[in-house]
Chain A
Amino acid sequence: MTFLKVQDIHHTYFTKSNAVTALSNISLQVNEGEFISFLGPSGCGKTTLLSIIAGLFQPTEGRVELEGKQVATLKSEIGYMLQQDYLFPWKTIEENILLGLKINHHLDEEKKAYAKDLLMQMGLSDVESLYPKQLSGGMRQRVALVRTLATEPKLLMLDEPFSALDYQTKLHLENLVSDTLKSFGKTAILVTHDIGEAIAMSDRIYLFAPSPGKIHKVFEIPEELRECSPFDTRNHPMNAEIFQTIWKEMESLGSQESHKSTP
Chain B
Amino acid sequence: MDHKSHTKALHNAYIRSLKKEKYWVRFYQLVIFLIFFSGWEIASRNKWIDPLIFSSPSKVWELFLIKVQDGTLFFDLGFTLSETILGFILGTLLGTILAAILWWSPFLSKILDPYLVILNSMPKVALGPILIVALGPSFTSIVAMGTIISVIITTIVVYTSFREVDPNYIKVLQTFGGTRFQIFKEAILPSSFPVIISTLKVNVGLSWVGVIVGEFLVASKGLGYMIIYGFQVFNFTLVMLSLLVIAVLATIMYQAVEFLEKKLIKNN
What is the interface of chain A, defined by CB distance below 8 A to chain B?
54, 56, 75-76, 78-80, 82, 84, 86, 88-90, 99-100, 103-104, 131, 133, 151, 157
Looking at chain B's contact residues, the main secondary structure is helix
When distances are taken between beta carbons in the complex, the residues of chain A under 8 Å from B10 are none
B135 within 8 A of A: no
8 A Cβ contacts from B157-181 to A: 166, 168-169, 171-178
* CB-contact partner of A89 in B171, B175, B177, B267, under 8 A: B267
**A76-B177, A90-B267 are known contacts. Are A99 and B186 too (CB-CB below 8 A)?**
yes
**A88-B169, A89-B268, A131-B267 are known contacts. Are A80 and B187 too (CB-CB below 8 A)?**
no
Interface contact A56-B268, CB-CB below 8 Å: no
What is the interface of chain B, defined by CB distance below 8 A to chain A?
166, 168-169, 171-178, 182, 186-187, 190-191, 193, 265, 267-268
21 residue pairs from A and B, CB less than 8 Å apart: A56-B171, A56-B174, A75-B175, A75-B176, A76-B177, A80-B171, A82-B168, A82-B172, A86-B166, A86-B168, A86-B171, A88-B186, A88-B191, A99-B172, A99-B173, A99-B176, A99-B186, A100-B176, A103-B176, A103-B186, A157-B175
Interface contact B169-A86, CB-CB below 8 Å: yes
Q: How far is the CB of B166 from chain A (nearest CB, A)?
A: 8
Q: Across the A-B interface, give the 10 residue pairs with the lowest CB-CB distance, nearest first.
A: A75-B177, A80-B175, A103-B176, A100-B176, A103-B178, A90-B190, A131-B267, A86-B168, A90-B267, A86-B172
When distances are taken between beta carbons in the complex, the residues of chain A under 8 Å from B178 are 103
Interface contact B171-A82, CB-CB below 8 Å: yes
Interface contact B177-A104, CB-CB below 8 Å: yes
Once the chains are docked, how many angstroms separate the CA of A75 from the CA of B179? 12
Interface contact A56-B168, CB-CB below 8 Å: no
